[in-house]
A and B are shown apart, each in its own frame.
Chain A
């Protein structure tokens, strides 16, 4: 196998990128004046889809400087059944060690059963709940809300079982997870919404996590209700844009996303600063806890980093619940504001990764819109603000980057003077 030249840019030249995507990430690379390359091996950064990783990663040899955007077994966190297994295992381990406070932090995921394996257990649990309680069935391998449906009677899935020719022993049977549906989500303007937060993990061993300050809330366009006969109207219950488009009278021009900052302002107005800050802090803790639970099973590789898209639901008691984690969050933008967010997200990501070593290996607390929240231990909170987390706070990434480069320039000139 041909060896690529040592050092980024083939030894001091322009950074070369390789990607199969032609949306925002492509724009970010071009805006940094990086060169595109088709070469299988001669690249410095790669933004590749998970399918390619699955097929080629094991046979690849990566140079020291090369950076790729996925970990080998990211599915431990992003596949619904694996995530459930890892979270449960972490919680049990903490309980066994009598670390009940920490174990209590892991109650952000609803009771989940994997089908067909856990079918018996699921039926037991189902019978314990009162009649009419709603459950949600999700295929583990699909995205964009495909294949998800709600039910409240066992008979409704008996039909589904027959349709899918599902056999408990068949290895080809499509795996599903089933969990209690959150019937009392927080509603704003009578509509259900969920949050999309972005977290960047540059290393699992030790665990280093950056949380992006901005994100958005995705609203259903339709008024929320839990009528038994409307369980089939997925556009009321699922906030994925792809599902919303199937609803009646969907207006493609109408917005359905709120920047996180607006949500925070609204919540402060309704519940007060302390309750809102506590909620956002719990969301930050949720992200960290979920990453800690897979820390030991992730194949550590210094060439890898990953940006996860967290889907979080808030219930009417202001408690956050983890819906799922995405290893490939959508990078295409619906609106100009959306584009600005995603561009900033990816551009700041590469400032953090720092292939060109412009920041001299110093671990900064703030890079553009990213805040370092875990560096082999939780970060100390900033006493200057009355918030315990910067999530959802004012994000002036351009100004922050200027300050960062100024501070770095000062540092490097000071050290070169010695």
Chain B
């Protein structure tokens, strides 16, 4: 076990993590989970120099010679987060599924997601996303063309905000929120209302940053320093650094998360066991990507923090867990693969022939909710729908739609590099028309 120094009184152990070997979870998922946790364990061990450096310690405490050496080695490493998206995908693709039909028939599916999960059918998706029907005017398209519609959305938004009813605000977000009121609407839809106690809690977390240093801090700082879409986000690096360091020290994240994240267990000098890091989440590369787009809609630091935390615990944590439950990462991957196969089987075949697996391109898009790929305006329009429909399904559906949109150019590509370059080009992509097309008028994508 790792040694760590924790000053505060041992708080009661958090409730057992959901999904970790709980009755009902598929064996292949638990295998995957244990392999992955083992991998992360090793990464953490390497980070602490095999136990030489404490996972968490008082910043004021002096460190021994061995600790300083190990610390310096940690500092020199170029890690920007404990794991990258491709490492995660590699592990998913590598898992052996004893029950797969391929074991019997010898015909292996091209899909990387190892599970055969129940997919929503095209009809079910249309019902679920009825508000995205092309017959319904959308924020993101129609308000740019028709001034009266933009004004109407504005008026309606103000009226709903004055009532403050959560469900109505979420429903309003389904058809896009005007940029001027996005912050307030999301706060209402996610029930983030700050009171005195919240401000002091945040202030406490900020003071924790200087009081306790974690071995993960340099990783988080490096991740924030170079965002994926640097041009859009470089201005906010300082704000997000503080935000994430607080996030890493906030035990409420562990309690509130819909799906518990990957973490290790550690014991302090007194032998008391607890979760490390305190928020129950080992930071991936790109953790900051879930926060940067919010800077365009939220400006007060505390509001930004609580909204980010609310979105993480409600939505993004599902992207960093292994489970067969609908709405989590594996299910979303399966939705992407089956939607793409249904829409563009020839394109799938062609890309696989070029040795460019579609999931390897789409995985970072889905994992980071497109904030690493699309310009910020489009990301916010997409996240409007995630909040409005209270679902992550727009992510894989949009990914499949982008492939279909680029299909004619991709079919002409003769090598993997060219195909990859076509896919990695985010110009001319508009989230709302793409979603509408793939759900309701798929034939319009095949131009």
Question: Footprint of B on A, CB under 8 Å?
Answer: 188-191, 219, 223, 254-259, 261-262, 265-266, 268-273, 335, 337, 383-386, 394
Are the C-beta atoms of B150 and A386 separated by less than 8 Å?
Answer: yes
Are the C-beta atoms of B234 and A272 separated by less than 8 Å?
Answer: no
> A268: which of B180, B298, B376 is its contact (CB, 8 Å)?
B180
Are the C-beta atoms of A256 and B234 separated by less than 8 Å?
Answer: yes
With CB as the reference atom, state the residue of chain B lying closest to A223.
B238
B254 CB, min distance to chain A CBs, angstroms: 29
Task: Tell me the count of chain B residues lying within 8 A, CB to CB, of chain A.
Answer: 29
**Does residue B87 face the partner (Cβ distance < 8 Å to A)?**
no
9 sampled A-B residue pairs with Cβ under 8 A: A190-B238, A190-B239, A258-B231, A258-B235, A262-B232, A269-B179, A273-B180, A384-B145, A385-B147
Chain A positions within 8 Å of B183 at CB level: 269
With CB as the reference atom, state the residue of chain B lying closest to A217.
B235
Are the C-beta atoms of B236 and A272 separated by less than 8 Å?
Answer: no
Are the C-beta atoms of A266 and B180 separated by less than 8 Å?
Answer: no
Instruction: Tell me the complex Cα distance, A256–B234, Å.
Output: 7
Chain B positions within 8 Å of A257 at CB level: 231
A314 CB, min distance to chain B CBs, angstroms: 14
Given A268-B180, A273-B180, residue A219 in contact with residue B238 (CB < 8 A): no
Instruction: Provide the B297-322 mask, 1 if CB < 8 A to any CB of A, else 0.
Output: 11100000000000000000000000
B253 CB, min distance to chain A CBs, angstroms: 24
Within residues 340 to 362 of chain B, which ones have a CB less than 8 A from any CB in chain A? none
Top 9 A-B residue pairs of the complex, sorted by shortest distance between their CB atoms: A272-B180, A189-B235, A386-B147, A268-B179, A273-B180, A269-B297, A255-B234, A189-B236, A386-B150
Instruction: Provide the B150-185 mask, 1 if CB < 8 A to any CB of A, else 0.
Output: 110010000000000000000000000011111100
**Does residue B89 face the partner (Cβ distance < 8 Å to A)?**
no
Instruction: Tell me the complex Cα distance, A272–B183, Å.
Output: 11
With CB as the reference atom, state the residue of chain A lying closest to B428.
A396
Instruction: Provide the B222-256 mask, 1 if CB < 8 A to any CB of A, else 0.
Output: 00000000111011111100000000000000000
Instruction: Tell me the complex Cα distance, A272–B151, Å.
Output: 12
Chain B positions within 8 Å of A271 at CB level: 180
Instruction: Tell me the complex Cα distance, A273–B179, Å.
Output: 8
Are the C-beta atoms of A259 and B231 separated by less than 8 Å?
Answer: yes
With CB as the reference atom, state the residue of chain B lying closest to A393.
B144
With CB as the reference atom, state the residue of chain A lying closest to B181.
A272
Instruction: Tell me the complex Cα distance, A258–B235, Å.
Output: 9
Are the C-beta atoms of A394 and B231 separated by less than 8 Å?
Answer: no
A125 CB, min distance to chain B CBs, angstroms: 35
A385 CB, min distance to chain B CBs, angstroms: 6
**Does residue B296 face the partner (Cβ distance < 8 Å to A)?**
yes
Are the C-beta atoms of A255 and B377 separated by less than 8 Å?
Answer: no
Chain B positions within 8 Å of A188 at CB level: 235
Are the C-beta atoms of A384 and B147 separated by less than 8 Å?
Answer: yes
Instruction: Tell me the complex Cα distance, A270–B232, Å.
Output: 16
Given A258-B235, A259-B231, residue A270 in contact with residue B299 (CB < 8 A): yes
Are the C-beta atoms of A394 and B144 separated by less than 8 Å?
Answer: yes
Question: Footprint of A on B, CB under 8 Å?
Answer: 144-147, 150-151, 154, 178-183, 230-232, 234-239, 295-299, 376-377
Chain A positions within 8 Å of B180 at CB level: 268-269, 271-273
A190 CB, min distance to chain B CBs, angstroms: 6
Please name 7 further chain A to chain B contacts, defined as beta carbons within 8 Å, in addition to the given A223-B238, A273-B179, sorted by A numbering: A188-B235, A190-B239, A258-B232, A262-B232, A266-B295, A269-B298, A384-B146
Interface of A is mostly: mixed
> B151: which of A258, A261, A337, A386 is its contact (CB, 8 Å)?
A386
Chain B positions within 8 Å of A384 at CB level: 145-147
Chain A positions within 8 Å of B235 at CB level: 188-189, 191, 219, 258
Count of CB-CB pairs between chains A and B under 8 Å: 66
Are the C-beta atoms of A337 and B297 separated by less than 8 Å?
Answer: no
Instruction: Tell me the complex Cα distance, A257–B235, Å.
Output: 9
Instruction: Tell me the complex Cα distance, A383–B150, Å.
Output: 13
Instruction: Tell me the complex Cα distance, A64–B377, Å.
Output: 47
Are the C-beta atoms of A269 and B237 separated by less than 8 Å?
Answer: no
Chain B positions within 8 Å of A272 at CB level: 180-181
> B237: which of A189, A262, A273, A386 is its contact (CB, 8 Å)?
A189
Chain A positions within 8 Å of B238 at CB level: 189-190, 223
With CB as the reference atom, state the residue of chain A lying closest to B149.
A386
Instruction: Tell me the complex Cα distance, A311–B178, Å.
Output: 30
Chain B positions within 8 Å of A383 at CB level: 147
> B376: which of A189, A262, A385 is its contact (CB, 8 Å)?
A262
Are the C-beta atoms of B179 and A255 separated by less than 8 Å?
Answer: no
With CB as the reference atom, state the residue of chain A lying closest to B237.
A189
Instruction: Tell me the complex Cα distance, A312–B377, Å.
Output: 24
Are the C-beta atoms of A265 and B237 separated by less than 8 Å?
Answer: no
> B377: which of A256, A265, A386 is its contact (CB, 8 Å)?
A265
Given A259-B231, A273-B179, residue A266 in contact with residue B237 (CB < 8 A): no
Are the C-beta atoms of B231 and A337 separated by less than 8 Å?
Answer: yes
With CB as the reference atom, state the residue of chain A lying closest to B145.
A384
Are the C-beta atoms of A269 and B182 separated by less than 8 Å?
Answer: yes
Instruction: Tell me the complex Cα distance, A258–B154, Å.
Output: 27
Instruction: Tell me the complex Cα distance, A105–B80, Å.
Output: 50
A362 CB, min distance to chain B CBs, angstroms: 25
Chain B positions within 8 Å of A273 at CB level: 150, 154, 178-180
Instruction: Tell me the complex Cα distance, A271–B299, Å.
Output: 10
Instruction: Tell me the complex Cα distance, A223–B298, Å.
Output: 20
> A265: which of B145, B146, B179 is its contact (CB, 8 Å)?
B179
B172 CB, min distance to chain A CBs, angstroms: 17
Instruction: Tell me the complex Cα distance, A257–B232, Å.
Output: 9
Instruction: Tell me the complex Cα distance, A223–B144, Å.
Output: 35
Chain A positions within 8 Å of B154 at CB level: 273
Chain B positions within 8 Å of A261 at CB level: 377
B179 CB, min distance to chain A CBs, angstroms: 4
Are the C-beta atoms of B230 and A255 separated by less than 8 Å?
Answer: yes
Are the C-beta atoms of A265 and B147 separated by less than 8 Å?
Answer: no
Given A188-B235, A272-B180, residue A266 in contact with residue B296 (CB < 8 A): yes
> B234: which of A223, A254, A266, A385 is its contact (CB, 8 Å)?
A254
With CB as the reference atom, state the residue of chain B lying closest to A387.
B147
With CB as the reference atom, state the residue of chain A lying closest to B148.
A386
B155 CB, min distance to chain A CBs, angstroms: 12
Chain A positions within 8 Å of B151 at CB level: 386
Are the C-beta atoms of B230 and A254 separated by less than 8 Å?
Answer: yes
With CB as the reference atom, state the residue of chain A lying closest to B230.
A255
B149 CB, min distance to chain A CBs, angstroms: 9
Instruction: Tell me the complex Cα distance, A384–B150, Å.
Output: 11
> B296: which of A219, A269, A335, A385 is its contact (CB, 8 Å)?
A269
Given A265-B376, A270-B299, A273-B178, residue A255 in contact with residue B147 (CB < 8 A): no
Chain B positions within 8 Å of A219 at CB level: 234-235
Chain B positions within 8 Å of A266 at CB level: 295-296
Chain A positions within 8 Å of B296 at CB level: 262, 265-266, 269
Chain B positions within 8 Å of A386 at CB level: 147, 150-151
Instruction: Tell me the complex Cα distance, A266–B144, Å.
Output: 17
Chain A positions within 8 Å of B145 at CB level: 384
Instruction: Tell me the complex Cα distance, A123–B180, Å.
Output: 45
With CB as the reference atom, state the residue of chain B lying closest to A259.
B231
Chain A positions within 8 Å of B295 at CB level: 189, 266
B37 CB, min distance to chain A CBs, angstroms: 35
With CB as the reference atom, state the residue of chain A lying closest to B147.
A386
A298 CB, min distance to chain B CBs, angstroms: 37
Chain B positions within 8 Å of A258 at CB level: 231-232, 235
Instruction: Tell me the complex Cα distance, A189–B183, Å.
Output: 17
B86 CB, min distance to chain A CBs, angstroms: 23
Instruction: Tell me the complex Cα distance, A271–B297, Å.
Output: 10
Instruction: Tell me the complex Cα distance, A394–B143, Å.
Output: 13
Chain A positions within 8 Å of B234 at CB level: 219, 254-256
With CB as the reference atom, state the residue of chain A lying closest to B151.
A386
Instruction: Tell me the complex Cα distance, A384–B146, Å.
Output: 6
B58 CB, min distance to chain A CBs, angstroms: 28
Are the C-beta atoms of A189 and B239 separated by less than 8 Å?
Answer: yes
